Chain A
Amino acid sequence: MTTGHAEPATPWANLAPQQVVQLTLPGVAIGVLGGAILGVVVVGGGEPFHVALFAAVTLGVPLAAAGAGYEILLAKGRVPLGMLTPVALYWVIAFTLCRVFQTALLDLYAGSEVAVPHGWLDFLAYQALVSVGFGIGYWWLHENFAPLWWIRIRERNPVADHFVRVKLQQAGALEAQRERRQSRQRARRAERRR
């Protein structure tokens, strides 16, 4: 679902490193949440704490890093704000890579050869398909909660301020786009009549 309008460039170039870190927080938090969910499930299943911690860290850290990557792309204006498709496509690649990384580390940790049950092709295809689910969950949490964070830091972060303003203007921009389309259609009809 797109609005189709071009969003103005973000003030990314003016950011200090600390401001970049601020912007990555929503993505990092969702990645860490993913790792934490796995950790809770594993420890709840009676596995030793260190196993649960290892499972959580090996998934949570790459997911957090990938989440930070997404936020940076967003801050640079490389991906549009609020759209589901780019988020899902990003995570098809990022989530699959995170799972490969985690599986390899788990095998190495267990002292066995790096391998997957049904072969790598099967594994990669399956991970890519399931990753769409993760992408939707990421988009959902991001759309619901990231704006609250941006509002909080907008006074001291120009990109966050930009995001808040874009969010507020999106409805208006859609209207303007509709109006432009309608006036073009009216002009074409008038031209044909002449």
Chain B
Amino acid sequence: MAHVENRVAGPVTLDREGAERVWRAGKLPPMKIRKLPEAPAAAHVLGPAMILVAIGVGFGETYLWPRLVIVFGPDIRWLFTLGVIVQTVVMLEMARYAMATGESIFFGAARVWVPLMWMFFLIAALVYIWPGHISAGAEALEEITGISWQASATVALIIIGIMFTIVRYVYNFIEGLLAFAVGVLVIGSAIVGAIVGSLHDLGVTLAGTVRVDTWIPSEAFTAAFFPVVVGALAFAGPSGMQQMWYTLWLRDKGAGMGSHIPRVRGLMHAGEEETIPEAGSMFDTDDPEEMRKWQGWRKWVTFDALVLFFGITMLVTIIFTVMALNAAELNPEARSALLEGDRDAALPAMGDAFAEAAGFFDTLFFIFISLVGFKASVGLFDAFARGQSDMTYYFLPGAKRLKMAHLYGLYLWFVLIFGIIILNFGPADGPTGILDILAFLSAFVMGAYCLTLAVVNNKNLPKKLRPHWAFTVVLILGGIGYLTAIMYSVIKYGVSDIG
């Protein structure tokens, strides 16, 4: 795998008086003006969208949306398309800030208002310490093998912890691992889709993907299903805080000004860590040569967003919808079972629906759900530790006495040990219950980060780097949309109905 190896901080630029040139954004330390490295050729170096796809293409595409299609038919899929379009814009805008400054979006939020960053810190702690993804994946594994989901999930958590502790550069390792998992998922989906689907199913699916005139079926406006629809909307593409963590992966990949920040190391290699600057940096936007390089970086990330992120997300979900349609046609009883709204029965009911379509279909469904669950967990535990350690390092007084790798290891092992305790001794809510709560909370944080991102990019960046007004509008409408949906769900139906 090719990497953007350009880890030289480089000299800062001086003005006529010999003082360091800086870009000021908010009251936090200014960003020193440094050189922007050359962008790689688009399409020849896959960017961190790969990781975003790897953890983002998951339960939404393979479970929540097929489930909605079985219940409501393919015409509801336009909502998925809408969600993915908003997420593509969010991804491009997250990348704008991270590549222009080398800072995470959390740092960007702190430049606007420090408590805003701490809000994200708290939400991450509340939402992501629960081992929801891995427990759902492990339950799917139990359906196939009979191995207790607590046992397999516990073993997986320990393996994840050891892996991230012993590797030198965490990013390189996770990129390779997830690249293989995504490849298997895409190829496997295509092969099985080719065997079980038909041109008619595909046509109906594609029509449902773009037809907005069908609106939302009235059956979806119920206490049992409206929150699920909101959760599924939030799970279209990367959910929850994954997009925010994407800025940290971009930095570790060395994208744009991220090349001036050292990479996160595994705990066993903490001693080799370089000095971390007190803030990000900025390039000279009045220099045409620097702006040319910037356009190169934008092209690189746009390829990532359109082909890898949008393309693969749509591809996988279209194939799974074709499979779901096939299953619903052959097993109408599954639809009734799902409509009754028994959430704990949803996963087996989906399996039954798929089993009716072909002998091996239910196994395939559970294999994919299992793969998705474990794959997502690898990315999410890394992301959680990465995000929390970043915020702690820069903003918790005294935290800089520790190295970033120490903080990363601390958060990683905390969330893993907590996960093991919950899996084995915690409230027996059932895996799907955990997942639905996660989906619900995801909608809130997504609304919050859309609005935050709109402010950060329009306030913290020099004018020449700010987003087009249309992108800002998408961010604002997306943020309002997520928040309205979640508030309507709470006011009309009550949050407790979600579980």
- A37 and chain B: residue at smallest CB distance: B188
B2 CB–A CB distance under 8 Å: yes
Q: How far is the CA of A171 from the CA of B364 in the complex (A)?
A: 40
Chain B nearest CB, measured from A124 CB (Å) = 9
Q: Of the candidates B45, B186, B195, B362, which one forms a contact with A136 in the assembled complex, judged by CB atoms under 8 Å apart?
A: B186
Enumerate chain A residues within 8 angstroms of B292, measured Cβ to Cβ.
178
Contacts of A123 in B (CB 8 A): 199
The answer to the question of B126 belonging to the interface, with a C-beta cut-off of 8 Å to chain A, is no
Q: Map CB proximity to A onto B21-53 as digits: 1 under 8 Å, 0 otherwise.
A: 000000000000000001111111110001000
CB pair B180 A141 closer than 8 Å: yes
CA distance A1 to B44 in the complex (A): 9
What is the distance, in angstroms, from B249's C-beta to the closest C-beta of chain A? 16
Instruction: Say if the beta carbon of B312 comes within 8 Å of chain A.
Output: yes
1/0 per residue, CB under 8 A from B, across A25-69: the answer is 000001001100110111011110000000000010000000000
Closest to A116 in B: B198
Does A125 count as interface, using CB distance less than 8 angstroms? Answer: yes
- Interface membership of chain A positions 65-100, coded 1 if the CB is closer than 8 angstroms to chain B and 0 otherwise: 000000000000000001110000000000100010
Residues in chain A near residue B186, CB distance under 8 A: 133, 136-137, 140
Tally A-B pairs: CB < 8 A. 136
Instruction: Tell me whether chain B's interface is mostly helix, strand or loop, or mixed.
Output: helix
CA–CA, A141 to B40, complex, Å? 19
Which of A106-158 touch B at CB < 8 Å? 117-118, 122-123, 125-127, 129-134, 136-138, 140-141, 143-145, 147-148
Q: When chains A and B are docked, how far (Å) is the Cα of A141 from the Cα of B198?
A: 26
A125-B362 CB under 8 A given contacts A44-B144, A44-B367, A82-B43: no
Complex contacts, B180 vs chain A, CB 8 Å: 141, 144-145
With A140-B179, A175-B38 in contact, do A41 and B367 touch (Cβ < 8 Å)?
yes
- When chains A and B are docked, how far (Å) is the Cα of A173 from the Cα of B42? 12
- CB neighbours of B319 from chain A (8 A): 130, 133
Known A129-B202, A133-B186, A145-B180: A46·B360 in contact at CB below 8 Å = yes
Does B197 sit at the interface, judged by CB under 8 A? yes
Contact residues on B (Cβ < 8 Å of other chain), bracket: 35 or more
Q: Is A170 an interface residue (CB 8 A)?
A: yes
Contact assessment for B41 and A130 in the assembled complex, using a CB-CB cutoff below 8 Å:
no
Residue from B50, B144, B195, B361 having most chain A Cβ neighbours under 10 A: B195
Interfacial chain B residues near A83, Cβ < 8 Å: 43
- Complex partner residue of A144 from B46, B194, B202, CB under 8 angstroms: B46
Interface 1/0 per residue, A161-175 and B, CB below 8 Å: 000000100110111
**Complex Cα distance A33/B184, Å?**
8
- State whether A45 touches B364 (Cβ < 8 A): yes
The one of A47, A133, A134 in contact with B360, judged by C-beta atoms closer than 8 angstroms, is A47
Given contacts A122-B199, A147-B1, A148-B1, contact A130 B190 (CB under 8 A): yes
> Is A183 in the interface zone, CB < 8 Å from B?
no
Q: Does B224 contact A (CB under 8 A)?
A: no
B123 within 8 A of A: no
- A34 near B362 (CB under 8 angstroms)? no
Check B104 for interface membership: any CB of A closer than 8 A.
no
Contact B190 A144 (CB under 8 A): no
Contact A41 B43 (CB under 8 A): no
Partner of A118, one of B2, B45, B198, B360: B198
Chain B residues whose C-beta falls within 8 Å of the C-beta of A34 in the assembled complex: 187, 191
Collect the chain A residues with CB atoms within 8 Å of residue B46's CB.
143-144
Give the A interface residue count (CB, 8 A).
51
Is A37 a contact of B187 with CB atoms below 8 Å?
yes
Q: How would you classify the secondary structure of chain A's contact residues: helix, strand, loop or mixed? A: helix
Q: Could you tell me the distance between the alpha carbons of A113 and B321 in the complex, rounded to whole angstroms?
A: 30
- Inter-chain contacts of B39 with A (CB < 8 A): 171
| Chain A residues whose C-beta falls within 8 Å of the C-beta of B202 in the assembled complex | 126, 129-130
- A185 in contact (CB, < 8 A): no
| B360 and A42 contacting across the interface, CB-CB below 8 Å | yes
Is B118 on the interface with A (CB-CB < 8 A)?
A: no
Q: Which of B1, B198, B363 is A126 in contact with, Cβ under 8 Å?
A: B198
- Would you call A1 and B198 a contact (CB within 8 A)? no
Contact between B1 and A41 (Cβ–Cβ < 8 Å)? no
- Beta-carbon contact of A125 and B199 below 8 Å: yes
CB nearest to B306 among chain A residues: A1
Given A1-B43, A30-B187, A130-B190, A45:B197 Cβ within 8 A: no
Q: Is the CB–CB distance between A41 and B187 below 8 Å?
A: no
Residue of B nearest to A83 (CB): B43
Q: Per a CB cutoff under 8 Å, which of A30, A40, A59, A138 touches B367?
A: A40
Minimum distance in angstroms from B107 CB to a CB of chain A: 28
> Is residue B10 within 8 Å, beta carbon to beta carbon, of the partner chain?
no
Q: What's the least CB distance linking B114 to chain A, in Å? A: 39
Smallest CB-CB separation from A46: which chain B residue?
A: B359
Q: Are B41 and A170 in contact (CB under 8 A)?
A: yes
Contacts of A178 in B (CB 8 A): 292
Query: A117 — which chain B residues lie within 8 A by C-beta?
Result: 198
Say which residue of B190, B200, B312 sits within 8 Å of A131 (CB atoms): B190
| B46 to A, closest residue via Cβ | A143
B2 contacts A147, CB within 8 Å?
yes
A-side contacts of B50, CB under 8 Å: 144
In the complex, per-residue mask of B341-369: 1 if CB is within 8 Å of any chain A CB, else 0: 00000000000000000111111100100
User: Per a CB cutoff under 8 Å, which of A41, A136, A140, A170 touches B363?
Assistant: A41
Q: Taking the nearest CB of chain B, how far is it from the CB of A129, in angstroms?
A: 6
Nearest-neighbour CB distance to chain A for B69, whole angstroms, equals 18
CA distance A164 to B145 in the complex (A): 42
Question: How far is it, in angstroms, between the C-alpha of A42 and the C-alpha of B361 when the chains are bound?
Answer: 8
The 7 A-B pairs of least Cβ separation, nearest first, read A45-B360, A137-B186, A133-B190, A137-B187, A44-B363, A141-B183, A1-B43
Could you pull out 19 A-B pairs where Cβ atoms are within 8 angstroms?
A: A1-B42, A33-B187, A34-B187, A37-B188, A41-B188, A41-B364, A45-B358, A122-B198, A122-B200, A126-B194, A126-B197, A130-B190, A134-B190, A134-B194, A137-B187, A140-B312, A144-B50, A147-B1, A173-B41
